[in-house]
Structures are given as C-alpha cells and as structure tokens.
Structure 1
Amino acid sequence: MLNFLKKIIKNSNDEEIKNLSKIVDQINSLEDKYKSLSDSDLKKSTDILKEKYKSVQSLDSILPDAFALVREASKRCLSMRHFDVQLIGGLCLHQGKIAEMRTGEGKTLVATLPAYLNTLSGGTVHVVTVNDYLAKRDSVWMGKIYNFLGLSVGCIQNNGSFILKKIQMVI
C-alpha cells in the first residue's frame, strides 16, 4: 500500500532536488575554468563578478560562477572541496529555504557559498551561529576563503552582560 501511495503522490523534494541538480551541473562545468586560474587571477574574479552583477542586476545569473569560485578558493585555502550535496545546501540557503544537515556534513562550509554570492551585490552579509565559540572559530576558519577572495571578515562576541541587564530589567 505504501509503495502504491508513493507512486501516486510525488515527493515535492524530488522535483526540487532535480531542479537544483541542474544548477549544480552548471557549477561543476565551471570547475576546470577556475582550477586553471592563478591565485592572482582567481582573486580578480570577485571584481569581475561584481561588475557582471551591476550589468545584469541578478544574483542568480552569476550564481554558478560565484559558487564555482568559492569552491576553488576553498580548495586552495583550506584543502576542502564543496561536494554536490553541499552546493545544493548553499542553493537552498540562497533561495531562503531551510536545509537540514547533520553534525559533520559541512554546514559551515555550505554557508560560504550564499554568503559570498550575496556580497557581490555590494551589501554586507552577516552569518549567525549559536554561540561565541562557533562565531570566533568560523570567522577565522572560513575567513581564509573570504579574505582570499578580497572580502573582509569580522566577529561579534557577546560577553553576556547585555543579556543579564535585560533579564534584570524584566524581573
């Protein structure tokens, strides 16, 4: 009975993954292009993508290049290559969707993709983590990628006093 229902009711995630996989294929097709660039030329790619964004005003149009560029920068800076499933996670985040990932599946690395992409429009990006330790760790660790690509990184730490004062005022 369950198999019969599965055949009738198509899982919407399957269709979504199929659509995202097409974009992943575009990103993968650019891998050799970015792999062949020198460090200097790879760094210049950020300015090139910013200019391209200014002319087309669409992050989606530069997304494959931006994700491929971050992937290559990550390989050079951290010896970590985004897997296809991590690219899909980055696409979901960029689209404002939720991507469930377990411990150790690379959430920190995934966040570099949409974070970088969204800086190309000229604004700032804030990546939020659950505690000060992760905020500091991730800003230093993933900051190597962002710095390599010409971006600056900061980290806001909370010493708890502001929260304590608010709690005291409520009581």
Structure 2
Amino acid sequence: MNKIDKKLHFLLGKVKEECKKVKCLSDYELKNKTLEFKERLNNGETTDDILPEAFAVCCEADYRVLGMFPYDVQILGGIALHLCYLCEMNTGEGKTLTATMPLYLNGLTGKSSILVTANEYLAIRDAEEMGQVYKFLGLSVEAGVKRDTNEKLDNDSKKDVYAADIVYTTHGSLGFDYLLNNLVQSKEDRFMRDFY
C-alpha cells in the first residue's frame, strides 16, 4: 500500500469510528452538529481537522434522509476528493452519494462549494435529491442551471445561486458565468464569490 492509500484508509478508519458515535444521536442533535462544526472552524480548526466527524454526520444524514449509507469505497472517494486527489468511479458506483461528504464538509466554511457536472439534468437532479441531505443538516443548496435551457438566470438569481453553501452546475454554465462575472460594468453587479 502506498503512502496515499495508507492516508486514505487511516482516515476511513477514523470516519467509521465517528459513524458509530453519531448513529445514536437524535435528528435534532445530528442537525446541531453543523452549528458545532461551523463554530469550530471559526475558532481555528480546519476542514481536515473535522473531516472524520463531518463525514460521519453526512453519512448518517445520507441514511436518514435518502435511505442510503455510503459504502467504504464511497467514503474513500469522498476523502480523496476533499484532499484534491483525482478519483475515478464507474457509472453506477455512486459518485453522487460520494460527493455529499466533501460537499458538506467544505460547505461548512461559508465560502461555497461547487460541484460541476456534465449536463443540466444531472445538476438539477442532484441538487434536488442530494439537496435534501444538506437542507436537513442546515446548509443551503442551489442549482446553477434551469430545466429549460432557453430560460436564463438574471444577475440577482445568480447572486442567490452563488450565495448558497453548495452549488450544482455544469461546466458550460460555470464557464459562461465566470466570463459574465468579469464583464460587468461595476463591482456591485458581480454575482460570483471570490475564489479561495
């Protein structure tokens, strides 16, 4: 096992330990973990510090809201995504559920997390379905695209989208939004958050 695999499996073990602890929490206690995590981040802890606990909370919420508890390989994929590693999963292996964990963790920062997918259908479907988990845990979620591709979002709507904790969009929409955000007449017309 190489160094990266050891790190991923070590973190998987930590997440699984935390999963045992959060399983017995009430819905109210589970939801309040989001406020606790945000406070800890504001007090100097990092997303890496709280990863095992936050992933466990998201795993439990995935189960309670969607009836799906992530498999170990999905947790490993989520850890890899958070650590900025490339992660390949085939069709049907659960990329959508895998993404809930790093999106939740990074959505806690208040800086927004963006998931970029291939088409409008997937962005809207995932924002609606997985959005139930984030909303249950107290985070906001938006889709950066519309079902009707002829319907365009105005600047105010885009401000609402990019103000969300978690955004699901497409590569084409994000690219054009970035371009339009930089072509505005004044700074007040910008709708995207600063990158971090």
Per the TM superposition, whether the score is higher than 0.5 is yes
Q: When you count helix as a share of all residues, which structure comes out higher? A: 1
What does 1:11-90 correspond to in 2, within 5 Å? 14-90=2-78
> Corresponding residue for 1:121?
109
How big is the shift at 1:16?
A: 1.5
Does the alignment pair 1:98 with 2:86?
yes
> 2:76 and 2:57 mapped to 1: Cα distance?
15
The 2-side partners of 1:97 and 1:132 are apart by: 25
Moved over 4 A (4+): 160-163
Cα distance in 1 for partners of 2:71, 2:14 equals 14
2:79 & 2:20 partners in 1: Cα distance? 21
Distance in 2, matches of 1:51 and 1:28, equals: 23
Instruction: Provide the C-alpha distance between the structure 1 equivalents of 2:62 and 2:129, rounded to a whole number of angstroms.
Output: 10
**TM-score, normalising length from structure 2?**
0.73
| Counterpart position of 2:194 | none
Runs (5+) with no aligned partner, structure 1: 1-12, 167-171
* Partner secondary structure for residue 154 of structure 1: strand
Shift of 1:110: 0.8
Identity of aligned residues (%): 43
Q: Which residue of 1 aligns with 2:142?
A: 154
In the alignment, structure 1 residue 137 sits paired with structure 2 residue 143: no
Higher Rg: 1
Is the partner of 1:93 in helix, strand or coil? helix
Total equivalences in the alignment: 152
Equivalents in 2 of 1:14, 1:85: separation in Å?
17
The residue type paired with residue 52 of structure 1 is R
Higher relative contact order (CA 8 A, sep 6+): 1
CA offset digits 1:27-46 (Å, max 9, x no partner): 10011211111101110110
Q: Distance in 2 between matches of 1:132 and 1:69?
A: 29
Relative to the length of structure 1, the TM-score reads: 0.83
RMSD of equivalent CA atoms: 1.9
Letter in 2 for 1:45: K
